[in-house]
Amino acid sequence: MTTRRNLLLLAGSALALGGCRETAQAAPTTPTAPDVLLAESDRGLLRLGPAGEQVLGPAAAGYDGAHLYAARPGGLDQVDPASGTAVRSAALADGWIPRVVSTDGRACALSRTGASDRPAARARTRLLITGPGGASERDLAGVIEPDAFTADGTGLFVLEWLPAAAPDHYRVRLLDLATGEVQPLSTRDKTPLPPGAEEEMRGDGRQAVLSADRTMLFTLYTHQPGHRHTRDLLSGRPGGAHAFVHVLHLSERWAYCLDLPHPFGEGPAAGHALAADGRTLFVADLNAGKLAYASPESLAIERVVDVPPVPESTAALALTADGRVLIGAGGVTVLDRASGRQTGRWELPGAVRGLALSRDGGRVYAGGTGRVTWLDAATGTRSGEVAVPGLIALRHVV
């Protein structure tokens, strides 16, 4: 799914904000960005930086942007995101599209079809897995979409869309790369699921981020009509969550759903966003003006605070090392992490299509309509802007 695995870089800043509302100054237009960025566009994945724009075309980046694979005629390149050069190449038949990259960058899953919110009906799916041992092809029954590798690279989490003749919902399963068998996941207590207890999801997978220790993948889901969690199926409860964070443990191979309270999930999916670090998992619903704090360790909601609502917006979140939460939607709202209190507002023209921080924490990058703008992380002053025709979303700072 094009919206399911969207990961914003979480980087640090050691600079503090004043408590007043700040309006960003007009940005001088510059031809290049001072840092290397990865962005999704209608021309494919783009690499932007001091040397200009590099169109990578059919490509897939890891969830933190640290690893990158790009297809080319007759081959597949593993590309160093920092330099844009190929560090490893292999011959490959045309038509394979990179889809998923392992967290260590050693493996890539490719398919014959691109990502889609609703894949087309088909009786079988072909996947190609490349890794240290070479490439192997899998021919699987039904509509199967690659989702994430296990931490050890021996398994691939996949979305199995049902029914294959008219896909409209899916369940997360595990493809054993040694045997080719597609299996149910375990529960959080590592108990195998009995028949009939696998969750089937309908709705929008809005965004996904890795945990700080890179062992868990958090995916935000909204609008799940009729959805029942595994725990509801096992207990006989009716279920019916509007929004939740689906947790995949990439090492222990279990799945868990962290329910989000009302009114999360009742407004448009685009108004929701997700971000995480070692202390907190944040989920924003700008339709309702809510920000939830959850524990990555206990997987429980700790509190919900009010934030300025921005209805009909596209939301983005980023976190700074000095204790600020940045919420992007028609500008950037700055919150004090501890109190949830607004400490600043940086205005930007138009919608925000992704937020990310430079590695040194000095710049905040904001995707926009046909452009990427960067701001001083201390003051919110706009420092520069580069035109990016067809920009869909800013993904990572490398």
Q: Give me the pLDDT at residue 359, please.
A: 94
**Which helix (H) or strand (E) segment is 174 a member of?**
strand 169-176
The predicted model gives 63-87 an average pLDDT of 96
Cβ distance 278 to 212 under 8 Å?
yes
Structure tokens at 228: 């029942």
Cβ distance 394 to 365 under 8 Å?
yes
At residue 121 the predicted structure's pLDDT band, cuts being 50, 70 and 90, is very high
Q: Give me the percent of the chain exceeding a pLDDT of 90.
A: 75
Phi-psi region of 251 (alpha: psi -120 to 50; beta: other; left: phi over 0): alpha
Q: What's the whole-number average pLDDT of the chain? A: 87
At residue 392 the predicted structure's pLDDT band, cuts being 50, 70 and 90, is very high
279-301 pLDDT, tens digit per residue, is: 999 999 999 999 999 999 999 99
Q: Give me the pLDDT at residue 116, please.
A: 83
H helix intervals, 289-369: none
Dist. CA 346–CA 366, nearest whole Å: 11
pTM here? Answer: 0.86
Q: Give me the pLDDT at residue 192, please.
A: 75
Kindly tell me if the per-residue pLDDT of 30 is higher than 70: no
Q: Give me the pLDDT at residue 26, please.
A: 38
Q: Give me the pLDDT at residue 31, please.
A: 65
Going by the DSSP 8-state scheme, the letter that residue 106 receives in this structure is S
At residue 195 the predicted structure's pLDDT band, cuts being 50, 70 and 90, is low
Q: Give me the pLDDT at residue 25, please.
A: 36
Q: What are phi and psi of 232, to 5 degrees?
A: -70, -40
User: Positive or negative, the Cα torsion across 139, 142, 146, 151?
Assistant: negative
Dist. CA 242–CA 329, nearest whole Å: 22
Residue 184 CB neighbour total at 10 angstroms: 18
Q: Give me the pLDDT at residue 203, please.
A: 66
Q: In what order do the strands lie in the sheet with 134-141?
A: 97-101, 108-111, 124-131, 134-141
Structure tokens at 57: 């075309």
Q: Give me the pLDDT at residue 224, please.
A: 56
Kindly tell me if the per-residue pLDDT of 379 is higher than 80: yes
Residue 5 CB neighbour total at 10 angstroms: 21
Amino acid at 390: G
At residue 28 the predicted structure's pLDDT band, cuts being 50, 70 and 90, is very low
The predicted model gives 241-256 an average pLDDT of 89
H helix intervals, the chain: 230-235
Task: Tell which wins on pLDDT, 7 or 333.
Answer: 333
Task: Tell which wins on pLDDT, 194 or 206.
Answer: 206
The ranges assigned to domains in the chain are 37-397
CATH among 3.40.50, 2.130.10, 2.30.30, 2.50.20 for 37-397 = 2.130.10
Q: Give me the pLDDT at residue 239, please.
A: 47
Contacts of 370 (CB under 8 A, 6+ apart): 387, 388, 389, 390, 391
Q: Give me the pLDDT at residue 8, please.
A: 31
The predicted model gives 216-230 an average pLDDT of 71
197-216 pLDDT, tens digit per residue, is: 788 887 677 889 999 999 99
The predicted model gives 110-137 an average pLDDT of 93
Q: Give me the pLDDT at residue 120, please.
A: 94
Nearest Cα neighbor of 332 from 292, 378, 294, 298 is 378
